[in-house]
Each structure stands twice: as structure tokens, then as C-alpha cells.
Amino acid sequence: MKNGKRFFKKLKGGIDAEADKVADKISETGETIEDELKDVGETLEKKSRVAGMFAKFHLEGAKKEGADIKKALEKKELIYLKTDALAVVLRKLGGLDEFLAVVEKLTKEGYLLVWTEPVSSILPIGMGLVGNFYYFQRGKLIA
């Protein structure tokens, strides 16, 4: 019986030691997981800050673009900008005859059409496409 008690005591001691090892391992793993979660949280916070900065930057650009489009749309003349080298014409939806008259005038002055760009309204009204910008360059300046 004594041998049996000693055996079970030794067995219990071995089980307790193994249980302590497992408990230590679980504790270490828990600390590791906690550290990893902390790192993940810090990374998410940094990425959120960067995304916020990009969103703010984009919003500021969109506001400026909206102001420029609004200014262009409020102009009565179709020629938005004209220099010795460049002319920019805004053709609003409708007004084809006036637009063609301006294109003819610029062509006679030696300007060539080099680019077109749709003007999509980013104004709060949300009208979508409101016209096109037409970019002309003086022919003698084109290489």
C-alpha cells in the first residue's frame, strides 16, 4: 500500500509539475497574444491616421476643384482662358452654335485643338456631366 501511495504521490507531483508547465506556457502565450494584439491596435491606429490625412487632402482638393468648376460655369464667355500660346474653351451642354463660332475664330487665329476633358460637376447639386473643356494650342508653338 505504501508503494501505491508513493506512486500516486509521485504521479500527482509529476502531473502538478506538468500542469504548472502548461499553465506557464498558457500565461506566456496569453502575454504574447496580448502583445501582438497591442501591436495590431497600434498599426490600425497609424493606418487610420494616414487614411484620415489622405481623405482630408482629397476633400480639400475636391473643394478647390469644385470652386474652379463653379467659377468656369458662371462665366458668360465660352473662352475660359486665352494666352498667346494656349486657349481653353468651356462648352457647356447646349450652345453648339456659339461653341462652333469660338472654335472657328480660334482656328483662324492659328490655334489647334490638342485635348478635351469632360467637366463632371462635383458640386453639391450633383448634376454629373455639365460640359467639356477644349484645350487649344497655338499651332506655331507645337513641336
Q: What is the pLDDT of residues 77-136, one digit of tens each?
A: 899 999 999 999 999 888 889 999 999 999 999 999 999 988 876 655 555 677 889 999
CA distance 12 to 5: 10
Answer for the pair 113, 136: CB distance below 8 angstroms, yes or no: yes
Q: Could you tell me the residue range of the domain that residue 38 belongs to?
A: 1-74
Q: Are both 88 and 132 inside the same structural domain? A: yes
Which of 59, 74, 89 is the endpoint of a domain? Answer: 74
- Per-residue cell: 62: 475636391
Model pLDDT for residues 17-66, shown as the tens digit of each residue: 776 777 677 766 766 777 777 777 777 787 777 777 766 766 777 778 77
- Co-location of 66 and 89 in the same domain: no
Number of separate helices (H) and strands (E) present in the chain: 2, 4
CB atoms within 10 A of CB 103: 18
Same domain? For 115 and 60 the reply is no
**How many domains does the structure of the chain reveal?**
2
**Distance in angstroms (rounded) separating the CA atoms of residues 82 and 22:** 80
